[in-house]
Structure 1
Amino acid sequence: MHIKINSGKNLVLISALSLLTSGVLAMPFAWAGTPSSAAVVQAASVTSVFSVPSMSCGDKACETAIYIALHRIPGVQHIHIDDMKRTVTVTYDAKKVSPSVLLKTFRNIGYPASLAHA
């Protein structure tokens, strides 16, 4: 097979194709060094467990009140309420909220809590 390149258009096309190919092949290496946004978000997250001894509602009213109050705080990412253990686990952005803010929220809604462990 004999290829004859006599046109400037062919030369431009071949050059563009080789640049694209080399760029696509190099992309995985460039991406490998960049942390994903999920990893960045996760690094700033803190999980604390609060003991809430007064949380003893059979009709889930306590859980609902606590969930709504905590969910309204900027930076709170996840809330898990265990009514049997009377604990509330909160995952939050430590740059936006602190355990003292969360404890104050528990107290303000009538369910005083203590920090079981962070």
Structure 2
Amino acid sequence: FAVTGAEKIHCSGCERRIHFALQRLPGVQHVAADAATQCVAVAFDPARLIPSQIRERLQEMGFDVEVLS
């Protein structure tokens, strides 16, 4: 996911906040948020979770994102 809106990943605190919020979703196996690249990488079980659910959680946190292939 790429952060595209006005709200950005500013620091390691933002990275941790994203990590802990997404880790709570069922099926998430790994989260890496990077303030330098404004990207969030998520490894997940597609049988338990779909990308739109991850995007919704990030949007609830105030981040506008787009899915990267």
TM over 0.5: yes
Aligned length: 67
- The structure richer in helix per residue is 1
2:3 aligned partner? 52
Q: In the superposition, relative to structure 1, how do residues 94 and 84 fare at CA in structure 2: closer, same or farther (>3 Å)? A: same
Larger radius of gyration: 1
SS in 2 for 1:81: strand
Unmatched tracts of structure 1, length 5 or more: 1-49
Where does residue 71 of structure 1 map in the other structure?
23
Render the CA deviation track for 1:47-83: whole Å, top value 9, x for unaligned: xxx001332313x221121111100001000111221
Aligned letter for 1:101?
Answer: Q
Runs of 5+ unmatched residues, structure 2: none
TM-score, normalising length: structure 2: 0.86
What TM-score, normalized by structure 1, do the two folds share? 0.53
Aligned-residue sequence identity (percent) comes to 30
Alignment of 1:77-92 (within 5 A): 77-92=29-44
Q: Distance in 1 between matches of 2:26 and 2:45?
A: 9
Residue matched to 1:93: 45
Q: Do the aligned partners of 1:65 and 1:109 also contact (CA within 8 Å) in 2?
A: no
